[in-house]
Amino acid sequence: AQSVTQPDIHITVSEGASLELRCNYSYGATPYLFWYVQSPGQGLQLLLKYFSGDTLVQGIKGFEAEFKRSQSSFNLRKPSVHWSDAAEYFCAVGDGGGNKLTFGTGTQLKVEL
Amino acid sequence: NAGVTQTPKFQVLKTGQSMTLQCAQDMNHNSMYWYRQDPGMGLRLIYYSASEGTTDKGEVPNGYNVSRLNKREFSLRLESAAPSQTSVYFCASIGYSYNEQFFGPGTRLTVL
């Protein structure tokens, strides 16, 4: 069965500092991988996705993520965090059939001014 | 505008009451999903429908039923609500190979 682990429940960074959110997945074949952001009281917004090809993918809002098959990881990064990036971030893995999307438990990001 | 609509946005039930959460999409997607979100647990899949006329259990299906009425609509029913079903429920509509993904605004359900 597919699964996702986000080991960091909470992360606090200073505005302007770099950010890396960790995500490890378990899936038997080449996975479909996603990062989402959720602001308080809102739904989910897709930041970026990886299907195949270049292992470094660019997303919206200046985010990027790198797929590392050997480490079963798909970490999210941003070079310089803005106060508006404070939100909860979810990593997810999708099966090859395009039918089942499994989420991690999320990482709450706090940005200190 | 393209997207996923969910009704209602808020609901309070008493233990044992029933209700149906409605979800509709206008993107002509085959796949639709119901998730529940609880603090510290992320989004957990309740049921999904890969195509019109088919439904499958997800991770936490107990206490729920679903209906894929047509390609647009996917409803979630609680036959006898329990306090453990207090949660925020999200419907999602996803296109072929995840190329498009839309999540509804959520339904905040409280069961007393």
Nearest to A43 among B45, B59, B90 (CB): B90
If you measure CA to CA, which chain A residue comes closest to B97? A98
CB proximity B61 to A under 8 Å: no
Interface of A with B in 75-94 (CB under 8 A): 90, 94
- As a residue count, chain A comes to 113
Residue A43 in this model has a pLDDT that exceeds 90: no
What pLDDT score was predicted for residue A100? 79
Indicate whether B111 pLDDT > 60.
Answer: yes
Poorest-pLDDT segment among B2-6, B36-40, B88-92, B93-97: B93-97
DSSP character for A10? E
Q: What is the rounded CA–CA span in Å between residue B26 and residue B54?
A: 18
What is the average per-residue pLDDT within A47-56?
90
φ, ψ of residue A75 in degrees (nearest 5): -85, 145
For range A29-36, the mean pLDDT: 90
pLDDT in tens, A4-19: 999 999 999 999 999 9
Q: What is the distance in angstroms between the CA of the first residue and the CA of the last residue of chain B?
A: 36
Nearest CA among B76, B78, B77, B79 for reference residue B91: B76
Alpha-carbon distance A93 to A32, whole Å?
6
Q: Name the one residue in this structure whose structure tokens are 């995500």.
A: A23
SS (H, E, C) chain B: CCCEEEECCEEEECCCCCEEEEEEECCCCCEEEEEEEECCCEEEEEEEECCCCCCEECCCCCCEEEECCCCCECEEEECCCCHHHCEEEEEEEECHHHCCEEECCCEEEEEC
Chain B: residue nearest A94 by CA?
Answer: B98
pLDDT digits over B83-102, tens only?
999 999 999 998 877 777 88
Model pLDDT, residue A53: 85
Residue found under tokens 């996803």:
B94
Task: Tell me the per-residue pLDDT of A90-104, one tens digit each, with 9 for 90 and over.
Answer: 999 988 766 678 899
Give the pLDDT confidence score for residue A99 in this predicted structure: 67
What is the structure's pLDDT at B76? Answer: 98
pLDDT band at B38 (very low <50, low <70, confident <90, very high): very high
- Give the residue, A108 or A1, on which the prediction is more confident: A108
Evaluate if residue A112 carries a pLDDT over 90: yes
Residue B1 has pLDDT above 60, yes or no: no
Could you tell me the CA-to-CA distances from B107 to A99, A110, B91 in Å, in that order?
23, 25, 9
Q: Which residue, chain included where needed, has tokens 């038997």?
A: A28
d(CA B52, CA B97): 17
